Every structure is written in C-alpha cells, then in structure tokens.
C-alpha cells in the first residue's frame, strides 16, 4: 500500500532596522501552518481561493495552534511586497514601515485579505521591539513536502 503524507512547514526571518538603515535585530523562527491554511492550500489546486496578499504582526502571546484563524492582538497589517514560488517553496516578504506595527511584537501571520480573511500560517516568538521610527522586514518561507 502506498502511503504519502504532505506537510507544510516554514521559517520566518524578522529584521528590525533603524531609520538610518542599520540592522538593530534579526531572528529566525519556525511557524505553524494552521488547519485553515491547509484547507486554503488544497483549494488553490482548483483555483477557488484568493491568493495570500497580506502579513500582520501582533502582541498576542498564546502559543500558535492549528485551529487559529486570527492573531491574538493585531498591531498592524500590510500588503505583501512579494510572493514567489520556487519548486515546493513559497517565499513571502513584507515590510512594515515606521509607524506600522509599533510595539512589543510577539506574533505574525499571513492572510489573503486586508482585514479578516483566511490565515495561512501563524508564529509566536519572544518579544521583538519595534520602535515608532523603526522598519521591520519579514521574510516567510512556507515549504510543502
């Protein structure tokens, strides 16, 4: 009997930059592709789902759970700067400018709408402080294997 299991995993790189472009902090963490995200991936096979288009950050600290459909406490959401597929990987990049998503950031998610929408993946991490004048770049790689 043939048994094949498909999984979706990923890694998130977060970079905080000062107004002069100096990198203040950088970290890479794992993410969870949530149940709704797995359903989304399946629906894309028939072309019935709207493409992922936004990334959000928040200050919620509850551990990521497969049943999640939103962030705990959203601080800001931006349109993805890019979403590129290469083989079985999709790389999403978002830049949160000064004044957006400011504060003690502890979670992030990928969505297919500017508000609400379907969540593909969520991650929770130790505090990354984003000052009002700081920029934040998030590079999120989702791998289907």
Segment 68-88, tens digit of pLDDT:
999 999 999 999 999 999 998
Q: Does residue 36 lie within any of the structural domains?
A: yes
pLDDT digit string, tens, across residues 46-72? 888 889 999 999 999 999 999 999 999
48 belongs to a structural domain: yes
Q: 139 pairs with which residues across the strands?
A: 13, 93
The number of folded domains in the chain is: 1
Q: What is the pLDDT of residue 112?
A: 96
Tell whether 10 is covered by a domain: no
List, in sequence order, every residue forming a beta bridge with 26; answer none if it has no partner.
Answer: 15
Asked if the structure places residue 13 within a domain, the reply is: no
113 in any annotated domain? yes
Question: Could you tell me the residue range of the domain that residue 92 belongs to?
Answer: 31-144
Q: List all residues 6 or more positions away from 141 whose beta carbon is below 8 Å from its beta carbon.
A: 10, 11, 12, 89, 90, 91, 92
In a domain, 101, yes or no: yes
Beta-sheet pairing, 89-96 with 103-111: unpaired
| Structural domain contains residue 12 | no
Whether the Cβ atoms of residue 42 and residue 118 lie closer than 8 Å to each other: no
Tell me, yes or no, if the pTM score tops 0.95.
no
Q: If you average pLDDT over residues 97-121, what whole number do you get?
A: 97
- Look at 27-36, 53-62, 116-125, 129-138 and tell me which has the smallest mean pLDDT: 27-36
């Amino acid at each position: 009997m043939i048994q094949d299991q498909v999984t979706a995993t990923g890694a998130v790189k977060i970079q905080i930059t000062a107004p002069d472009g100096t990198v203040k902090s950088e970290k890479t963490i794992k993410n969870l592709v949530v149940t709704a995200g797995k359903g989304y991936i399946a629906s894309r096979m028939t072309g019935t789902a709207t493409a992922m288009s936004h990334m959000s950050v928040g200050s919620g600290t509850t551990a990521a759970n497969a049943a999640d459909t939103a962030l705990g406490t959203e601080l800001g959401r931006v349109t993805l700067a890019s979403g590129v597929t290469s083989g079985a990987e999709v790389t999403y990049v978002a830049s949160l400018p000064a004044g957006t998503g400011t504060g003690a950031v502890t979670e992030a998610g990928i969505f297919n709408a500017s508000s609400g929408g379907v969540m593909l993946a969520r991650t929770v991490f130790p505090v990354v402080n984003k000052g009002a004048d700081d920029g934040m770049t998030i590079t999120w790689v989702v791998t289907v294997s």
